[in-house]
Amino acid sequence: MMSKEKVSSSISSSFIVNRTLENNPMCTCGSPASLRTSNTRRNLGRAFFGCSNYNMKGLPHCNFFKWADSGQEREQELVNFKIELLRKKDELQKTQEEFQKTREELRKLEEEVRKTMEEVRHGMEKVRKV
Ligand SMILES: [Zn+2]
């Protein structure tokens, strides 16, 4: 059985993997960094980029290290998200204004209909009196 916590964490980690696989950063040694998960107690399961040659016996490796879920990309993402949110809010405001206008027009229309009905009623009363 999966707890709610587990479901959301598996979604977010697959999101990170999908995203980062498209744009793996380059190591300082020139090869693309590979995505791994941390096995230290403090950051257990946290995704990071490391040199793809790290832990490969006999191969030289660099000290490249970068958390997959932090740093500038993440910040940029957050900024983009905020901009999108503001844009949506603006759109919503416009839609609300539009709605308000339509409602006002509808109210005027209703008023006209009411007047016309009144006139028709008066006319009919006159006809009946004649
Ligand atoms: Zn490297």
C-alpha of residue 43 to centroid of ligand 1, in Å: 21
CB 47 within 8 Å of CB 34: no
C-alpha of residue 60 to centroid of ligand 1, in Å: 8
Check pLDDT > 80 for residue 106: yes
What pLDDT score was predicted for residue 107? 97
Residues facing 48 on adjacent strands: 36, 67
C-alpha of residue 73 to centroid of ligand 1, in Å: 20
Cβ-based burial of 52 (10 A; exposed 0-12, middle 13-18, buried ≥19): buried
The pLDDT tens digits for 1-47 are: 545 555 545 555 555 454 445 567 888 888 888 888 888 888 888 88
What pLDDT score was predicted for residue 10? 52
C-alpha of residue 2 to centroid of ligand 1, in Å: 37
- Sketch the domain layout of the chain as residue ranges: 1-69, 71-130
The pLDDT tens digits for 43-80 are: 888 888 899 888 777 888 888 888 887 666 667 777 88
What pLDDT score was predicted for residue 4? 53
What pLDDT score was predicted for residue 20? 45
C-alpha of residue 50 to centroid of ligand 1, in Å: 7
Token code pair at residue 78: 């957050």
Q: pLDDT: is 124 or 58 the higher one? A: 124
